[in-house]
Structure 1
């Protein structure tokens, strides 16, 4: 087993990896930017080293500096978490060159799955269904128009090296195509350093389903069921659950088999996720393979009892996968809400700032993954995710009720968060019945209704404030006097009685 691991990440995932390493008796090395000195993960790690300035390129994307720290600290392996360098083939090659174990697939596999068009071709040859679309990157606008006509509108533009919802554009009319290609190409160049694009047929009212897989270096492989990631905004996941409310046992087995086929076709090892789109007729199509731990891995852990981060480390150390497919059992349901420092009422504008009063929810089946604390200042340079709230229950109805209670108990002051939006989602009858699609938030006009509700609350607060001020001015006592609870059970002293008479 590894003696020391460097975590090439920050925030809640760094905390999660450090805790898994502690349980395995492994020492941890944290790396941090100049604005992350006071972060919780830096305090929890056995060692911590400054990478550079606040910009990701100066710190968490600085491959050479991370390798240098790994070597000087004696780390035998690097866990990349998610984001930053987690799916960067050049970084994996650099680890291999310096004989440092990268906790994830090898560089060849990473290159294959990173190229979405290449991955499509490979899995299609293995018998996994794919969405009709491009075979090669789009060369020019004419080729794009011809393909769009052949596929039928709407179509969707995707970045060949894309991910995280960036570089995606839906085209409803041919006259929009040239402009949207230009926008998508620019975004792909900025985000992925490659402007290559391809086009697929747009699936109407789709659901986003992904399958968790585990694979050792001897070719043994299992899947751990599906996660439903359909509740999204602009292709960014907000809420995930397992099992999916729309997947039955037969479909689950087919999805699992397809995921294993896809993973075998690219020679996958370690933990990963195979993503699919599910149409209205429950036909599924391959989207991509995520070659890393997912943000939402906690829901799978809760229903399977398998610690995915510890399993990642063991598999990277060369351990055999002892788990067999027949041994995998799903118990109950789990759901995760991503708590982001964003203002849903202001087009999800980032809301960095200093955390004031903070209270995490608790109770049976409630889990919070986070790196924030009261007094912590959230920097504006990184992803807005600050906490993941995961709940478990015996069935979906219990999970929804428990999640609602946990969200009500969750207090984060000093910044705006997505908690109000999560509450609104849970209250929707269609959500409770499992009638969801990628356009759920837009179709139910949740943001518009949330804004109207907020404005009403503000008006009530203003009116209440005016009434209280008026009563104070008129010396009119309130009808219901609030009881001072801490005094309950105590008798008045003589000085209190005398003071009242004066």
Structure 2
């Protein structure tokens, strides 16, 4: 029996496991790096142990330190979470050798799964459809093909090659980039990503839990999942589940996991891989099945039998989105900083199955959490469960739109755009959904008038804050004069560049006029600011109320509420129209440091993982120079043009900050 459980992971997965442990009476142990000393999962555990394992990003990968932490705290079981340790056969074996219960797949099975090509061979022998595998470029019979690393996860290193001339070099380049062996398989166009979650016990029972649709992806990583799939009918579901059961038995798998398939438009499917973890999208399966999958994991780890005779019926529809600290419009660049406010409205449950249709939030962060570069960019998983797919999508989009996410850039707007997109609503999707629909990358607050009114709300909230803090004459309206005078102004750095907001108040505190205009950054210190534009085409607006946190405006007879959260010089404005962050600018900014021509600078803080060039080397346009690792993702730095590497001040393993010099390229 499990008495005390250590979770060898962090963030929302650790909190998720702790939630079930509390329900079933199991004591909990958290581990943490220096960067996570104040993280929510640390405070929720009964015991917590600091991992002194070097850089914060590597601390959770030291299996020896984690086993020692379990022994020190008296834990008799270890749950690996859903990260790399969950797929590490050496760690699984070490836990068993230490006399503790391993809540995961058997070490022997993990050893097989480490090689994707070997796994495919075993599955093919069991008569499950698989795509052919080629390790020799000369043996590839046709194109396009997909080059894939033989080990690892997350889509790192995968690339499509469409002609024979580029294949040999692409294989060699990919092998250099990922540092391990690769193989090729046919690249199937217009394909869906379908997975069958399963739980298997050591007594031979294998139970599939329907299918999950995971086709909305970026860089081969899932961001929206749902169950059931709009493309799978009962007959196909039965075929997929049967293939998943055969796969699990062929691999000798025990525990919770998922068998992943590719599904084409004709209904043909092929085995993709077996994922030996409690996947991040397990919450949608819990919603429609009614079962706590973590509880089943613990039951199987203790040697128990599964309590259900077969697949549970599907109840309604569930959709999950992964809310991440990244900017989709800028090549999915991860974002770091302090999460000043993290609030999603109308949440019915956290970290556990829902009792009735509603919203569930599994978050690894809270107000004040610091989002660093050492872990992946996922902040939370938000799930909507409803009787129908349309209701679930609408509920989820509404909650995301009204969420207050202040301090770091997120993919929230893109998620809402996808959920409201006609193609998604009709189930017309595949793994190339985002590549063919650039319109979903537009911010929610994109209408010109909506942005202008949000800027006005920020300016009025700022004025209200100043009046509230005024030492004298605080009751007078902002900017009031007993003779006519110019407008009150504020200058913000907005989503489309600097903007100037102007407004005039009469002696009764009423808004007498207002305007917003885009300005040239070089004109921020000119005396012309503060003068209203000659053409005043802004809607008639009445200030119903304005405080430092809430502004209600009547715009052409329509009342709108704006919540304004100010942190330093930044105002975060949330309204039914969307959200915007506005940083107040000084009219006399300090001069910025000039960057030498040909300089390549770090787009985000991180660690230099690999350097593939040397000073003096001639490079082609687009050639990979080096890679940065941040938030468990690899970010390539390519040559913007042909030239010669003049300077290379960084080395593998070096930590760099945003804006730090990585290389200097003398262009040809």
Question: Which TM-score applies when normalising by structure 1?
Answer: 0.89
Q: How does 1:259-408 map to 2 (within 5 A)?
A: 259-325=244-310, 328-362=312-346, 365-408=358-401
Deviations 1:126-170 (CA, angstroms, capped at 9, x unpaired): 110001223xxx2xxxx31x222x1x1100111111311112111
Corresponding position of 1:23: 23
RMSD: 2.4
- Verify the 8 A CA contact 2:131 2:185 in the aligned structure 1: yes
- Per-residue deviation at 1:441? 0.5
Distance in 1 (alpha carbons) for counterparts of 2:381 and 2:363: 6
3-state secondary structure, aligned to 1:482: strand
Structure 2 CA distance for aligned equivalents of residues 154 and 452 of structure 1: 39
Which stretch has the larger CA shift, 310-319 or 463-472? 463-472
What does the per-residue CA deviation read over 1:414-441, in whole Å, with 9 as the maximum and x for residues that have no partner?
1111100101101211111000011101
> Alpha-carbon deviation of 1:266?
0.7
CA distance in 1, matches of 2:408, 2:277: 30
Partner of 1:481: 542
Deviation, structure 1 residue 184: 1.9
| Residue 111 (structure 1) aligns with | 111
Cα distance in structure 2, aligned partners of 1:419 and 1:278? 28
Q: CA deviation at 1:175?
A: 2.5
Checking the alignment, whether the CA contact within 8 Å between 1:35 and 1:53 is kept in structure 2 is no
* Structure-2 separation of matches of 1:11 and 1:113: 25
State the alpha-carbon separation in 2 of the partners of residues 53 and 114 from structure 1: 24
For residues 231 and 255 of structure 1, the distance between their equivalents in structure 2, rounded to whole angstroms, comes to 20
Which residue is 1:494 aligned to?
A: none
CA contact (8 A) 1:8 1:66 kept: yes
Report if aligned partners of 1:361, 1:406 keep a CA contact under 8 Å in 2.
yes
Matched ranges for 1:87-126 at <5 A: 87-126=87-126
Higher relative contact order, structure no. (Cα contacts within 8 Å, ≥ 6 residues apart): 1
For residues 329-357 of structure 1, give each alpha carbon's deviation from its aligned partner in whole angstroms, at most 9, with x where no partner exists.
Answer: 10000000000000112211111111112
- Which structure's CA Rg is the greater one? 2
CA distance in 1, matches of 2:64, 2:449: 53
Query: What secondary structure, in the 3-state scheme, does the structure 2 residue paired with 1:255 have?
Result: helix
Question: Residues 361 and 380 of structure 2 are in contact (CA less than 8 Å); yes or no, is this contact kept in structure 1?
Answer: yes
Q: Name which of structure 1's ranges 444-453 and 229-238 shifts more when overlaid on structure 2.
A: 444-453
Distance in structure 1 (CA, Å) of the matches to 2:222 and 2:147: 19
State whether residues 345 and 451 of structure 1, in contact with CA within 8 Å, keep that contact through their aligned partners in structure 2.
no
1:69 to 1:458, Cα distance in 2 relative to 1, 3 A: same
8 Å contact from structure 1 (residues 51, 58) kept in 2: no
Aligned residues: 471
Distance in 1 between residues matched to 2:346 and 2:248, nearest whole Å: 37
8 Å CA contact 1:207, 1:436 repeated in 2? yes
Q: Which has the higher strand share?
A: 2
- Could you tell me how far 1:198 is from its partner in structure 2? 1.1
User: Once the 2 structures are TM-superposed, how far is the Cα of residue 473 of structure 1 from its aligned partner?
Assistant: 10
Q: For the residues of structure 1 that align with 2:328 and 2:257, how far apart are their CA atoms?
A: 31
**1:360: Cα distance to partner?**
1.7
Does 2:139 correspond to 1:147?
A: yes
Q: 1:178 to 1:354 in 2, by over 3 A?
A: same
Is residue 2:415 matched to residue 1:422? yes
CA distance in 1, matches of 2:116, 2:145: 17
- 1:48 aligns with 48
Mapped contact 1:355–1:415 kept (Cα < 8 A): yes
Tell me if structure 1 keeps the 8 A contact 2:117–2:133: no
Structure 2 counterpart SS, 1:225:
coil
TM-score by length of 2: 0.67
Name the CA shift for 1:446/1:452 in 2 (closer, same or farther; >3 Å): farther
Aligned position for 1:437: 430
Residues 253-264 of structure 1 aligned to structure 2 (within 5 Å)? 253-264=238-249
Q: Where does residue 216 of structure 1 map in the other structure?
A: 201
Q: Which residue of 1 aligns with 2:502?
A: 469
Work out whether residues 332 and 395 of structure 1, in 8 Å CA contact, stay in contact via their aligned partners in 2: yes
- The equivalent of 1:164 in structure 2 is 154
8 Å contact from structure 2 (residues 112, 118) kept in 1: yes
What secondary structure is seen at the aligned counterpart in 2 of 1:440? coil
1:107-256 mapped onto 2 (5 Å cutoff): 107-134=107-134, 138=135, 143-144=136-137, 146-148=138-140, 150=141, 152-189=142-179, 195-256=180-241
Please state whether the residue corresponding to 1:52 is helix, strand or coil: coil
CA offsets 1:155-194 (integer angstroms, 9 cap, x no match): 01111113111121111122222332133213332xxxxx
Structure 1: distance between partners of 2:203 and 2:150: 30
Structure 1 residues 456 and 130: CA distance shift in structure 2, 3 A: farther
In 1, the alpha carbon distance for the partners of 2:107 and 2:505 equals 71
Tell me the SS of whatever aligns to 2:434.
Answer: helix
Q: Judge conservation of contact 1:344–1:447 (CA < 8 Å) in 2.
A: no
CA change 1:440–1:454 in 2 (3 A) is farther
SS at match of 1:35: helix
Matched residues in 2 for 1:180 and 1:382: separation?
Answer: 29
2: CA distance, partners of 1:182 / 1:458: 48
Contact 1:345 1:447 in 2 (8 A): no
Q: Within 2, Cα distance between the matches of 1:400 and 1:456?
A: 27
Q: Structure 1's 32 and 454: CA in aligned 2 closer, same or farther, altered over 3 A?
A: farther
Residue pair 1:425, 1:446 contacting (<8 A) in 2 also: no
1:233, CA displacement in angstroms?
0.8
